[in-house]
């Protein structure tokens, strides 16, 4: 199956759902069927897979495995071969309790990968919340900025507004060092949805085309296991905002809490959660295990639309 096609000078590389929150225009909206990502237009007529490339010594799942540039580049190319539609490259761990990484160190981890992979044929997303890293990554050829702070840091919106890269707005209660100490909500889906709507509005007010925006409820970022599963059940409500949903549940604690499995044994649970998210409107799933998720989504797609 072809993953890319030409579209208005950009290559097209998969969105669906309605719910209860009002969109920024005050009406319920079906999410857009594509998202603009720099040099690419990501076609969301079917679910898409974002492969995770952690260039860190301390990420919760694969910290240290791909810290050396050559190892990270080889891993990224393997994910593309397995069927990743987009890569998400991170140079700073944001696991619970993680300590900040100096700017220069994060750039030293990220920039060689952007340079090596920018002609790989898939969009490159950079997972960062530092405006200076955002600017440098965009200049180096990044196609999306994936920000766990949802572009709340001073200067973040200004760093990305004038570009044409895709923007993923994520929700996080607190910050990585303390976010899991005592997360609390009166209405987790309502509060997360309201935050995401507000940040999307702020981006649009700064001149960002809404076709560049996608939303991530932030599973595991300042949420208990119960909060995470409430959010997963409530994805259609957040999808009613009208933006594509990008979901990251791969290997997370919420999977281990239900299955009793350690991080390295959460493949089956992660795939089940990814399929549950797609069934509730997720357009993009962010995963460690690309090949297995590709197979699972092919079967899901065959059942849903007869695409066999």
Look at the alpha carbons of 186, 187, 188, 190 in this order and tell me if their dihedral is positive or negative.
Answer: negative
Q: Give the single-character DSSP code of 95.
A: S
Q: Give the single-character DSSP code of 31.
A: P
Sheet holding 166-170, edge to edge: 213-216, 166-170, 144-147, 124-127, 86-90, 48-54, 284-287, 246-248
CA distance 32 to 10: 17
Distance of CA 192 to the CA centre of its chain: 16
In the set 3, 109, 212, 286, the catalytic residue is 286
Angle, to 10 degrees, between the axis of helix 225-233 and the axis of helix 188-205?
Answer: 70
In the set 36, 109, 252, 266, the catalytic residue is 252
CA torsion 135→136→139→143, rounded to 10°? -70
Whether residue 250 contacts residue 286, with contact meaning beta carbons closer than 8 Å, is answered with yes
Distance of CA 75 to the CA centre of its chain: 18
Quick one: which H or E segment has residue 41?
Answer: strand 40-43
Whether residue 41 contacts residue 6, with contact meaning beta carbons closer than 8 Å, is answered with no
32 is catalytic: no
DSSP conformation letters of 148-200: TT-S-STTHHHHHHTS--EEEEE--SS-TTTTTSS---SSHHHHHHHHHHHHH
223 is catalytic: no
Residues that are catalytic: 252, 286
């Amino acid at each position: 199956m072809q993953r890319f096609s030409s579209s208005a000078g950009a290559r097209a590389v998969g969105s669906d759902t309605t719910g209860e929150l009002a969109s920024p225009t005050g009406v319920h909206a079906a999410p857009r069927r594509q998202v603009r990502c720099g040099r690419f237009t990501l076609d969301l007529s079917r679910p898409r897979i974002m492969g995770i490339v952690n260039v860190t010594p301390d990420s919760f799942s694969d910290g240290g495995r791909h810290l050396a540039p050559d190892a990270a580049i080889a891993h990224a190319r393997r994910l593309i071969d397995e069927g990743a539609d987009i890569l998400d490259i991170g140079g700073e761990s944001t696991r619970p309790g993680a300590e900040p990484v100096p700017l220069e160190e994060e750039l030293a981890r990220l920039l060689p990968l952007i340079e090596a992979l920018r002609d790989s044929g898939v969009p490159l997303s950079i997972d960062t919340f530092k405006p200076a890293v955002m600017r440098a990554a965009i200049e180096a050829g990044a196609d999306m900025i994936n920000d766990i702070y949802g572009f709340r840091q001073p200067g973040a919106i200004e760093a990305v507004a004038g570009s044409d890269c895709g923007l993923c707005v994520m929700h996080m209660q607190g910050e990585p060092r303390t976010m899991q100490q005592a997360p609390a909500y009166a209405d987790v889906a309502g509060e997360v949805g309201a935050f995401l709507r507000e940040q999307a509005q702020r981006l649009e007010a700064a001149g960002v085309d809404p076709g560049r925006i996608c939303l991530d409820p932030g599973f595991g970022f300042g949420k208990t296991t119960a909060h995470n599963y409430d959010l997963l059940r409530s994805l259609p409500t957040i999808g009613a905002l009208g933006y594509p949903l990008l979901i990251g549940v791969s290997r997370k604690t919420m999977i281990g809490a239900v299955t009793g499995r350690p991080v390295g044994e959460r493949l089956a649970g992660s795939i089940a959660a990814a399929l549950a998210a797609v069934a509730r409107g997720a357009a993009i799933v962010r995963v460690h295990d690309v090949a297995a998720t590709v197979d699972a989504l092919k079967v899901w797609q065959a059942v849903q639309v007869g695409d066999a």
